[in-house]
């Protein structure tokens, strides 16, 4: 176990802030992770588990131990004519798993192409995009309980998946480290192209009977046209979740804002795009020194180079207050604030 001291986290998170961490270590196997959990340095310091760092905002230097999870491996556990069950190490890069699955002809996660981060973090917020969430292909996961060092298997029900939610953000927050995730993928996959601009994009390419590889390409194309690349402009994707409001509140707001989009939910409530609220409130493209609200996607807060995490969080809170004042709607952060 190698501990580095006073290390810059700049390359380890997608906001690319120059944050310093007191202690840093990397776990490349479950045994190494167990050794870290049992160590004095882990027990006597606050700690943070880091995958790809694509959903965290560090507001200040971290005076504890950061454990970067790099647990590898994609293992086929069972294969039948129409399904394959794979167990994947928490440190595997999510998009690489998608590319591997698409190349093998295993369907189910092609709509989740190009989401940054690792497989182990994916269940944390039940990652989702273009009409698919990981709960749709999820079987189970293994995690180590920090307090006891014991391994526990969580079934799909036990994960309590919701929109950008799971039990790991609620009842057992920071109590477990996810070490592997098991997925069921389809060999005769039915593609899902109805969401967003997938159909439109495929039609513009003259593709009438899309394969999972076509859908993956379309999603990558759409995402690249909408979202800033964190390697060029620091960001963590959508900073806020899309809020859900009651049907009545939505109708009331529509009398004033007739162009307000809304997506009906099963219980009669409406999900409203936070990007629309933030844009309508005048924040889109606003730059304050080295940070700002992205010019093409108002839901994405950005670091243009030398911004500070503290300033990004201040900006986020100003946006929350301003949207609340104008629309009476609370925006909650999707990004994990450290």
Residues taking part in catalysis? 164, 238, 334
Supply the minimum distance, in Å, between the C-beta of residue 145 and ligand EPU: 28
Is 127 within 8 Å of 115 (Cβ atoms)?
yes
69 binds, among ligand FAD, ligand EPU, none (CB under 5 to 8 A by kind): ligand FAD
Burial 103-120 (b: 16+ CB within 10 A, else e): eeebbbbbbbbbbbbbbb
Picking from 6, 7, 51, 26, the residue whose alpha carbon sits closest to that of residue 178 is 51
> Would you count residue 167 as binding ligand FAD (CB under 6 A)?
no
With CB under 6 A as the contact rule, the residue among 25, 113, 125, 193 that binds ligand FAD is 125
Tell me which of 14, 70, 140, 216 binds ligand FAD, using CB under 6 A. 14
Assigned token pair, 259 = 């162009």
CA distance 49 to 55: 12
129 scored as a contact of ligand FAD (CB under 6 A):
yes
Q: Shortest approach of ligand EPU to residue 45 CB, angstroms?
A: 29
Residue 95 in contact with ligand EPU, rule: CB under 6 A:
no
Place of tokens 């120059």: 18
Q: Is the dihedral of CA 214, 219, 222, 228 positive or negative?
A: negative
Count of residues engaged in binding ligand FAD, rule: CB under 6 A? 32
Q: Which listed option, ligand FAD, ligand EPU, none, makes contact with residue 235 (CB within 5 to 8 Å by class)? A: ligand FAD
Q: What distance in Å separates the CA atoms of residue 110 and residue 55, rounded to the nearest whole number? A: 21
Say whether 237 sits in a helix, a strand or coil: coil
* Neighbouring C-beta atoms of residue 204, cutoff 10 Å: 11
Q: From CA 304, how far away is CA 257, in angstroms rounded?
A: 32
Q: Whole-number minimum distance, CB 116 to ligand EPU, in Å?
A: 9
Q: Binder to ligand FAD among 33, 88, 227, 293 (CB under 6 A)?
A: 227
User: Under the rule (CB under 6 A), what is the footprint of ligand FAD?
Assistant: 14, 48-56, 69, 90, 115-118, 120-122, 124-125, 127-129, 177-178, 227, 230, 235-237, 336
């Amino acid at each position: 176990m190698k501990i580095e001291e006073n290390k810059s986290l700049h390359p380890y998170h997608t906001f690319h802030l120059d944050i310093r961490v007191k202690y840093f270590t990397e776990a490349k196997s479950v045994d190494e992770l167990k050794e870290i959990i049992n160590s004095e340095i882990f027990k006597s310091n606050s700690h943070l588990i880091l995958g790809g760092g694509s959903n965290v905002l560090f507001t200040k230097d971290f005076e504890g131990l950061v454990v970067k999870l790099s647990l590898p491996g994609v293992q086929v556990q069972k294969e039948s004519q129409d399904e394959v069950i794979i167990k994947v190490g928490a440190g595997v890069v999510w998009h690489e798993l998608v590319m591997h699955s698409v190349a093998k002809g295993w369907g189910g996660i092609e709509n989740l192409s190009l989401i940054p981060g690792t497989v182990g973090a994916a269940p944390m917020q039940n990652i989702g995009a273009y009409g698919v969430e990981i709960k749709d292909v999820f079987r189970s996961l293994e995690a180590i309980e920090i307090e006891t060092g014991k391994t526990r298997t969580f079934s799909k029900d036990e994960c309590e998946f919701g929109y950008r939610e799971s039990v790991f953000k609620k009842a057992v927050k920071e109590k477990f480290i996810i070490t592997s995730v098991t997925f069921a993928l389809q060999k005769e996959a039915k593609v899902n192209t109805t969401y967003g601009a997938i159909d439109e994009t495929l039609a513009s390419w003259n593709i009438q009977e899309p394969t999972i590889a076509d859908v993956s390409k379309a999603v990558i194309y759409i995402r690249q046209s909408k979202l800033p690349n964190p390697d060029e402009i620091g960001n963590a994707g959508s900073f806020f979740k899309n809020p859900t409001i009651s049907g009545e509140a939505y109708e009331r707001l529509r009398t004033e804002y007739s162009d307000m989009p809304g997506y009906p939910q099963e219980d009669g409530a409406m999900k409203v795009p936070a990007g629309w609220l933030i844009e309508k409130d005048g924040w889109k493209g606003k730059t304050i020194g080295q940070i700002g609200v992205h010019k093409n996607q108002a839901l994405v807060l950005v670091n243009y180079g030398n911004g500070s995490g503290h300033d990004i969080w201040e900006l986020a809170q100003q946006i929350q207050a301003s949207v609340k004042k104008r629309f009476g709607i609370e925006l909650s952060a999707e990004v994990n604030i450290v």
